[in-house]
Chains A and B, each alone.
Chain A
Amino acid sequence: MATEAAPRLATDGAQRRGRAVRLSTRDKLALTLMVGIPLVLVGGLIWFPTIASILLSFTNWDGIGGVTTAHWIGTENYHQVATIYPPFWPAVEHNLIWLAFLTLVATPFGLFLAYQLDKQLRGSRIYQSIFFLPVVLSFAIIGFIVQLIYSPTQGLVNGVLGTHTDWLGDPSINLWAVLVLVGWRHAGYIMILYLAGLKAMDPSLREAAAIDGAGEWHAFRTVVFPSLWPINIVIVVVTVIEALRAFDIVYIVNKGRNGLELLSILVTNNIIGEASRIGYGSAIAVILIVISIVPIVVFVWNSFRETEQA
């Protein structure tokens, strides 16, 4: 963006430099309001709470009375969360499994579907619509579908397999049972994003690979995949953020207990749950912030690098 402005500066520099002066008071007021109102809203409801989360994580505030009753207790909350808060480490583990499953299974499967559907197939649009269908469903609805499918006595899976497994009640398998449907939704999402990338790709690249007589996997690995760097980054970021945001589906299934603990659930339990411990909740929120900064920075950097190249 910066470089985009530069050539214009060079060509009509005088005119441009004069523009700030030529903006009438009315125009200045309009521009201020156009930026100012959204700025205050997003600042007040997103960035202020983000900073507040960080600050609160170092206090013992219980949410009762004003914030002035809070005392600074340093890293005590973090220490306690890591040592004496039983659901914490399971939640970390589940979030990591969630991320690993999306990264290693659901995302590659979405890429695979996109790659296959980009082959000028008959009926490609119908396939696309079917694979994309779960993406328009809310995670809450998917939570209910999970219950319909895995119910021990009334579910599809036990009915078809003739088993009596309590898929959602057994903490050693319920995470995986849920992940199957999470992957079901995620793969369709990735497929659509990647298809957009493939469609925008220079077709001569792929044709060149075909002329080389390169095998399909080889062509994908050496030509298609590397040429789609911007979209690959978007996909990695989307995958990581989806894994961190996971909440609704496990909340519907069992409120995120008994094998389905997630960091997002623990944050929320500390405000709407039985025990209101703002400090604990905030400390876990800060851990989420720290993790999510990585994909956010990557995404922002990627977007602006792309703009500068354009």
Chain B
Amino acid sequence: MTSVAVTEDTRPVRKRPLTLSRVVLHAFLIVTALVWLAPVAWAVFTSFRPYSDTAAHGYVSWPTTLSLTNYRNAWDQGDIPLHFWNSMIITIPAILLILLFSSAVAFVVSRFSFWFNVPLLIFFMAANLLPQQVIITPVYEMYLRIHLPTWLSGSGLAYDSFIGLIAINVAFQTGFCTFVLSNYMKTLPKSLSEAARVDGAGVTRQYFGIILPLCKPAFAALAVLEFTWIYNDFFWAIVLMSSGDKRPITTSLANLSGQYFTDNNLIAAASVLVALPTIMVFALLQRQFISGLTLGSTKE
């Protein structure tokens, strides 16, 4: 897939004379980039300033002191470790299940020629394109009525349980990954399966032994992307989770906005803490992230 190398321009960079138009373009891009960074930079800047400092000098002022106090307070008052852990309990199993389910469906539609392949792919793909709010009313009512054993869900219901959130995230995201993986698997040579079949390998051995290992690059890209999406999810968690101490980190932030008084410096620090994992993932795995995103939109 050519799109895997999106950020890496493989075309030879020709030495170009530095024309006026190039200079203008760079000037434009630098200014735009600074404007682009401003909102995040502002949040970071505010997060390092003690409340007393901004109260005395205003927010747009040269800082007299910088400290990590806001981070310490956000960490404690916002129960960041607990909520971060909750996010992981939801995100990691969800990613594994999404990749398992979507690769299984993709395997079937890309390696066999059943009559139902196209309808099946549409069934999964379209599910991912619906706005979440379209289904929330019935899902909410269903979750209140689905009883689960207490070892699976502390509440005894699908509502307000980790498993409930995992399930809805998996159902919602499987379509996108199925679509991407089926395109990916179609690029793998058919002869691989044929040879395996001649050797007497059954369906499960072809799937686990031959196709899955070849999909590692696509899995890496999708895992990075899905991590960001599920970790960033706010909607399912706010509607389907009622216990504050089970909420993932994105929805727990609201606790920090006081009823009468909001400490913006504290909010800024908490926002930076919550955003940090996705920013780190993006910084370290940018290639996977972007190829995951573009695999779904372009093909070679």
Which A positions have Cβ atoms within 8 angstroms of B?
A: 1-2, 4-5, 8-9, 16, 19, 23-24, 26-27, 30-31, 34-35, 37-39, 41-50, 52-53, 56, 63, 113, 116-117, 119-121, 123-134, 136-141, 144-145, 147-149, 151, 154-156, 159-160, 181, 184, 188, 192-193, 195-197, 199-200, 203, 230-231, 234, 237, 241, 244-245, 247-248, 251-252, 263-264, 267-268, 270-272, 278, 281-282, 285, 288-289, 292, 295-296, 299-300, 303-304, 306-307, 310
Contact = CB atoms under 8 A, between A and B. Distances in A.
Contact of B279 (A44, A136, A155, A306): A136
B268 interface: yes
Interface residues of B, number: 111
Interface stretch (B62-70, B148-156, B169-177): B169-177
A304 B183 CA distance: 11
B294 A193 contact: yes
Given A137-B275, A148-B264, A45 B39 contact: no
A105 B238 CA distance: 30
B232 A139 contact: yes
A304 B118 contact: yes
A35 B2 contact: no
Contacts of A299: 125, 129
A44 B122 CA distance: 16
A200 B234 contact: no
A230 B126 CA distance: 17
Nearest to A301: B122
A42 B174 contact: yes
B59 interface: yes
A209 to B, nearest CB: 16
Given A141-B275, A144-B271, A252 B40 contact: no
Nearest to B126: A296
B37 A133 contact: yes
A120 B22 CA distance: 11
A309 to B, nearest CB: 10
Nearest to A34: B104
B3 A196 contact: yes
Main secondary structure of the interface of A (DSSP, over half): helix
B129 to A, nearest CB: 5
Contacts of A124: 9
A28 B175 CA distance: 23
A56 to B, nearest CB: 7
B181 to A, nearest CB: 12
A184 B36 contact: yes
List the 8 closest A-B pairs by CB distance, nearest first. A159-B60, A138-B232, A196-B294, A49-B138, A49-B135, A52-B138, A34-B104, A45-B171
B104 to A, nearest CB: 4
Contacts of B22: 121
Contacts of B190: 8
A125 B8 CA distance: 8
A149 B41 CA distance: 11
Contacts of B251: 140
Contacts of B239: 268, 271-272
B120 interface: yes
Contacts of B186: 4
Contacts of A117: 29
A50 B293 CA distance: 26
15 contacts: A34-B203, A38-B178, A120-B9, A120-B16, A127-B33, A131-B32, A131-B36, A133-B40, A136-B279, A141-B253, A247-B132, A268-B133, A285-B135, A285-B136, A310-B299
Contacts of A245: 131-133
A259 to B, nearest CB: 19
A271 B136 contact: yes
B231 A138 contact: yes
Nearest to B42: A156
Interface in B12-55: 13-14, 16, 22, 25-26, 28-29, 32-33, 36-40, 42-43, 46, 54
B243 interface: no
B7 interface: yes
Nearest to B145: A66
B219 interface: no
Contacts of A197: 297-298
B124 interface: yes
B130 A46 contact: yes
Nearest to A28: B203
B91 interface: no
Interface in B153-187: 167-168, 170-172, 174-175, 178-179, 183, 186
B170 A148 contact: no
B131 A53 contact: no
Residue of B112, B130, B172, B264 most packed against chain A (CB within 10 A): B130
A42 B132 contact: no
Given A144-B253, A272-B140, 11 more contacts: A27-B204, A34-B203, A127-B29, A133-B36, A138-B232, A138-B275, A148-B264, A264-B133, A268-B136, A281-B137, A289-B134
Contacts of A155: 59
B37 to A, nearest CB: 6
A139 B59 contact: no
Contacts of A4: 186
Nearest to A252: B254
